[in-house]
Structure 1
């Protein structure tokens, strides 16, 4: 599903050149649950942004579903990830003025799904994340764990083949964090491929495999600084 070859990302200003990724080679098979780990500043989020087509590499190649997509321009990346990739972020990124139901429904509107089907799919996914009783509530009326479950519902309601999660439990207490990880694990067991960036060794235990980064490169063993 995912393959990179010598993936490199360099950020340049007039005076400074920062190598965020340096020749990264990874492969992710369909149905895997991958945890990307490493110390702060090692390139984890930069890699996830490229995998999610939010950014493009400076050098190297990136294949998604056997298609080389690393060269795509911004508009092409936006069109390509539509319906294919679901995102879950640390800060939830919900729209405060919309209810739980409306936040999830917005993704299906974006995909052009008809009204009747949208309603059915929204109710189905809210049942799955155990938030049917909160459908008419607004984000500020929910706990952090509930908000993250809404974010996950929004990410998966469009039935993407891959979910990318950036520190999905970073703003949660241990109980809510565990519930979110169990939900991601259930989605993976149903066949969804998940790639997750995390600092948490506990969260990483839910993954089938760990990719360790250090100074923008893949390393074989966990570094002592983690």
Structure 2
């Protein structure tokens, strides 16, 4: 489903050139749940942003479902992103002025779906995320765990092929974090590919595969059990 070939990302200012990713090659199959780990500044979020078409690589190719999206125009990339990718962030990124229903409905509005179809899809998705009873509430009236459920509902309401999650439990306590991870695992088991950036060894256990980055390069992958993940984290600390 996802292939990167010698992917590089260089950030430049007038005086400084910083290499964030250096010849990163990954292959993620349809339906996989992959966690990306590594110390702060190793390139995890940069890689996720490129996979999510929020940023462009400096060099290399990014292939999504056999389409080389790195060759597409910005307009084409935006359209491709909206139709295929859902995002979940640590900070929830909900709009305070909109209700829960309106926040989840927003991606469907951008897609141009008729109001009747939007209503049905939002209702179904909120029920699936067990947050339908809060549909008329505003984000500031919800707990952190409830806000993340809304954010997940917004990410999946368009039925994307890929969900990208950047530290999805970073602002949650242990109980709410576990509930969010269970939701992501359920979505994955239903067929959605999930790529998650995390510092949490516990969260990484939900993944089928763990990729470790260090200084913009892959240093290990295919870790599954907690002991192996913990040892890899400690070796990169």
TM-score, normalised by the number of residues in structure 2: 0.93
3-state SS, counterpart of residue 179 of structure 2: helix
Q: How does 1:1-226 map to 2 (within 5 A)?
A: 1-220=1-220, 222-223=232-233, 224-226=235-237
Structure 1: give runs of 5+ residues left out of the alignment: none
Q: State the distance in 2 between where 1:33 and 1:209 align.
A: 7
| 1:60-106 deviation per Cα after TM superposition (whole angstroms, max 9, x unaligned) | 11100100011333322212111210000111110001000010011
Instruction: Give 1:24 deviation, angstroms.
Output: 0.1
Q: State the distance in 2 between where 1:83 and 1:77 align.
A: 10
Instruction: Give 1:112 deviation, angstroms.
Output: 1.2
Aligned length: 226
Q: State the distance in 2 between where 1:46 and 1:76 align.
A: 21
Q: State the distance in 1 between where 2:113 and 2:212 align.
A: 38
Q: State the distance in 1 between where 2:91 and 2:48 align.
A: 16
3-state SS, counterpart of residue 117 of structure 1: helix
Q: State the distance in 1 between where 2:149 and 2:46 align.
A: 24
Q: State the distance in 1 between where 2:14 and 2:136 align.
A: 50
Q: RMSD of the alignment, in Å?
A: 1.0
Q: State the distance in 2 between where 1:76 and 1:190 align.
A: 28
- Detail structure 1 runs of 4+ shifted over 4 Å in the superposition: none
Structure 2: give runs of 5+ residues left out of the alignment: 222-231
3-state SS, counterpart of residue 168 of structure 2: coil
TM-score, normalised by the number of residues in structure 1: 0.98
Indicate conservation of the 8 Å contact 1:56/1:71, yes or no.
Answer: no
| 1:154-199 deviation per Cα after TM superposition (whole angstroms, max 9, x unaligned) | 0000000000000001111111111100000000010000000000
